[in-house]
Structure 1
Amino acid sequence: MPGAASLSIAEFGRLAGLSAKALRLYDASGLLPPAEVGEGSGYRRYTPAQLEPARRISLLRRLGVPLGLIGEMLARPDSEAVTRLDRWWAAEDAAMEARRSTYYWLRTGLAHADDPQKAYAVRTERRPERRIATIRVEVDQQALVPAIGTAQWTIRAHLDEQGAVHGPEHWVIYHGPVTPDAEATIEVCVPFAGTVEPARDITLRLEPARLLAFATVLRDDCFHPRITAAYDAVNQHVSAGGLVATGPLREIYLNHWDRLTGEDPFALVAQPIEE
């Protein structure tokens, strides 16, 4: 006989806001096994004490939290579970920001692809020493923009977790030519201040002071192939002036894409040169 305080799967599902199918899944995965299973009938029954974890599972699934991570969180005290939830949410935020950056970049490229090319003035400026957090990835041209967004927001989530101070500026250093047919290494960098520990894919280093030759690119021109005119201008300036490059080319982004208008300065295409 079932316990007097036990609930049928239908009653329990109604109170917990879960379908019978979901409850069977959570039983099979070990997240929420029933309190009793009838020997002959196989009917599942639950106790009122199981309602709170069931409701928590329901909310976590609505957020899209994977079953494996839900199991980890249920097995931990609330003070540890909330830390794990925060880390997962930060990763989700990073992924969404990366998708948003890719969307804006793609849309702007489509909207302005037929605009005439611009002429770029090239200036020189000495940039100070900076502490940076970086991620290196191998990408081709198709994967470039999503990779930049994902790496940038992964770094920012880690810096936030560590209590570091960081502004919107971020860089992409090209350690080789990125083309549609070949991958090359890029290094996505976020300058920061504060005490930070390195993470699995995140390296911390001191970027030395450098003299840069650079061209400023407006937001609506910062996509391929229009941005290549800025690269051409910088390369020509360095070559014509007999200047010596002291490091790889880089793009220095001054702000986040969605905080600017199309006519705002968005990035510097920069070449470190000998002083």
Structure 2
Amino acid sequence: MLTISEFGRRAGLSHKALRLYDVSGLLAPAAVDPISGYRRYDEEQLERARRISVLRQVEMPLATISEVLAGTDEEALIRLDRWWAAQQATNEARQATVEYLRDRLLRAGSPGLSPRPVLQRDVPETKLASIRVDVDQQSLMGVIVASTLEIRAHLTAAGASLPGGSWVIYHGAVTPESEATVEICVPFGGTVDPAGPIGIRIEPAHTAAYCTISRDECVYPRIMLAYDLVEDWVRTSGRPTTGPIREIYHPGFRERTGSDPAVDIAQPIEGLS
């Protein structure tokens, strides 16, 4: 058994951190003296403590650390990879936003989005798996990536077929200052049961007005110009909307770059009778 000082020294954690991890349930001491309140730790707890220390160095939240360390090492690796992919996506989105702003400052008066048509198409009934989550603009891309990976892993484990692509339905306005509910959706074929946050449902057949944007044009706030384009078309056409607007990610979205077509901004509308 090790004192809190010895354990903290060997694990690379302060007394304050160890007390926090005890209160949060992340790393409880092996024993606590009922009279003095002194904490004692077992040497076997050092590996878990060191993993927590490393994960905190990369700014992983305590709740996420608890999820990562909850199962086997194989499960921990999967959760770690998903979290890191989400962090990378968030950082890429921030970098793209800064680059967009720099471009606008350097080329004042230039159009933020080149002209393009708004088209219509009929979308068939689709079986999909989805996760709903409340999110703000800052964490949006990370949540989309992490949720998509989680859904695809669940579908693959269940033996479902994946035609490719995914979409995000916006059930409210996501801004840098406020959260709203988004639904990350992945279409599939086969029979799959819901699990945890993953629900299974049928997306009804519908007509959609949409425009396509490139990988570079996906950055916020540039992407909002495509939303304006679609919304203006719908308003001018007089066609009632029949569902919330969505971003439809083309298959292989993560590998697309520059001017490659990558996303459709789509608004379900009432079809022509």
TM-score (norm 1): 0.65
Select which of 33, 50, 58 maps to 1:58.
Answer: 50
Matched to 1:159, the amino acid is R
* Cα shift at 1:269: 1.4
Larger radius of gyration: 1
Per-residue CA deviations over 1:213-243 (Å, capped at 9, x if unaligned) read 2111112222344334433332343344443
Q: Residue 217 in 1 paired to residue 213 in 2? A: yes
3-state DSSP of counterpart to 2:243: coil
* Cα shift at 1:145: 5.0
Aligned residue in 2 for 1:102: 93
Aligned residue in 1 for 2:73: 82
**Residues 131, 205 of structure 1: 8 Å contact kept:** yes
**Residues 86, 146 of structure 2: 8 Å contact kept:** yes
* Cα shift at 1:183: 5.0
Matched to 1:149, the amino acid is G
Summarize the Cα distance change of 1:51–1:132 in structure 2 as closer, same or farther, 3 Å threshold. same
Alpha-carbon distance between aligned partners in 2 of 1:25 and 1:267, rounded to the nearest angstrom: 46
Select which of 243, 247, 262 maps to 1:247.
Answer: 243
Alpha-carbon distance between aligned partners in 2 of 1:31 and 1:8, rounded to the nearest angstrom: 13
- Aligned CA-pair RMSD: 4.6
Aligned residue in 2 for 1:77: none
* Cα shift at 1:268: 0.9
Q: Which runs of 5+ in 1 are unaligned?
A: 1-5, 38-43, 74-79
- Higher mean displacement: 57-66 or 252-261: 57-66
- Higher mean displacement: 127-136 or 86-95: 86-95
* Cα shift at 1:45: 11
* Cα shift at 1:172: 2.2
Summarize the Cα distance change of 1:145–1:265 in structure 2 as closer, same or farther, 3 Å threshold. farther
Alpha-carbon distance between aligned partners in 1 of 2:18 and 2:134, rounded to the nearest angstrom: 39
**Residues 134, 180 of structure 2: 8 Å contact kept:** yes
Q: Which runs of 5+ in 2 are unaligned?
A: 34-38
Summarize the Cα distance change of 1:17–1:194 in structure 2 as closer, same or farther, 3 Å threshold. farther
**Residues 129, 206 of structure 1: 8 Å contact kept:** yes
| Residue identity (%) | 33
Summarize the Cα distance change of 1:124–1:53 in structure 2 as closer, same or farther, 3 Å threshold. same
Q: Residue 156 in 1 paired to residue 149 in 2? A: yes
Summarize the Cα distance change of 1:192–1:144 in structure 2 as closer, same or farther, 3 Å threshold. farther
State how 1:168-179 maps to structure 2 within 5 Å: 169-178=165-174
Aligned residue in 2 for 1:92: 83
State how 1:39-58 maps to structure 2 within 5 Å: 54-55=46-47, 57-58=49-50
Summarize the Cα distance change of 1:173–1:33 in structure 2 as closer, same or farther, 3 Å threshold. closer
**Residues 138, 176 of structure 2: 8 Å contact kept:** no
3-state DSSP of counterpart to 2:72: helix
Aligned residue in 1 for 2:260: 264
3-state DSSP of counterpart to 1:206: strand
Alpha-carbon distance between aligned partners in 1 of 2:249 and 2:231, rounded to the nearest angstrom: 19
Matched to 1:250, the amino acid is R
TM-score (norm 2): 0.66
